[in-house]
Amino acid sequence: MSRIQFKSFSKVLKALVKSILGIIVVTLLFHTSCILHKHINSSTADSLKMAGKPSSLVDTEYYQVVERLPVFQQGGIEAFCQYVKTAAKFPASELNKKQKKSVFLQFGVDCYGNVKVFSVMKSSGSKALDNEAKRAVKSSPKWTPAKTGNKSVGKLYYLQVKFNVATKKVEVKEPELK
């Protein structure tokens, strides 16, 4: 074998080894992702079974639009606003201030009917008022979850809680999103 033939054979062999190693790496990555996916799905299915609902009847995602809205004590978001209005208390640290302040919250009703506060979208400027708005929303009893098809799903909401310290009144409404 001549020196030139050996060099070209060596290059071909190196390229072949690199290709084989690449295929092995891709195969291992694919296999690992399949195992992780199977583990995550089985863990989710186990937790759903423990919650008493077959995994085919729930979807743990949150949606803006659903086929059937969640139900709060024979009402909807309006009944919940009324609940938050009565549940919210003025923090003592804010009683001497004569201002109106609003908190905008993002929350969701999950596929089991539990309320979860995700974030304060716009703060009132008072940590005490922000925390009180979150506390009042989190204190909610269970809802009947939203439905899409035959699955229970999470529903995403936005809520504005207005504290009028001068009149000691709380207003709660679903804000208009622009």
Domain that holds residue 95: 55-173
- Asked, for residue 178, whether it belongs to a domain, the answer is no
Task: Say whether both 143 and 70 belong to one domain.
Answer: yes
68, burial (CB in 10 Å: exposed 0-12, middle 13-18, buried 19+):
middle
- Residues 141-166 pLDDT 10s: 999 999 999 999 999 999 999 998 88
Task: Say whether both 29 and 83 belong to one domain.
Answer: no
Task: Say whether both 109 and 165 belong to one domain.
Answer: yes
Task: Say whether both 164 and 129 belong to one domain.
Answer: yes
* Higher-confidence position of 124 and 12: 124
How far is the C-alpha of 12 from the C-alpha of 75, rounded, in Å?
Answer: 73
Span of 10-14, 47-51, 123-127, 162-166 with lowest mean pLDDT: 47-51
Answer whether residue 34 shows pLDDT above 60.
no
Q: What is the mean pLDDT of the chain?
A: 79
**Any bridge partners for residue 146, and if so which?**
153
Q: What is the pTM of this model?
A: 0.66
Task: Say whether both 81 and 8 belong to one domain.
Answer: no
Q: Rounded to the nearest 5 degrees, what angle is found at the Cα of 115, between the Cα atoms of 110 and 123? A: 120
Query: What's the CATH code of the domain at 124?
Result: 3.30.2420.10
Domain count, the chain: 2
| Nearest alpha carbon to residue 77 among 164, 153, 149, 140 | 140
How far is the C-alpha of 108 from the C-alpha of 166, rounded, in Å?
Answer: 31
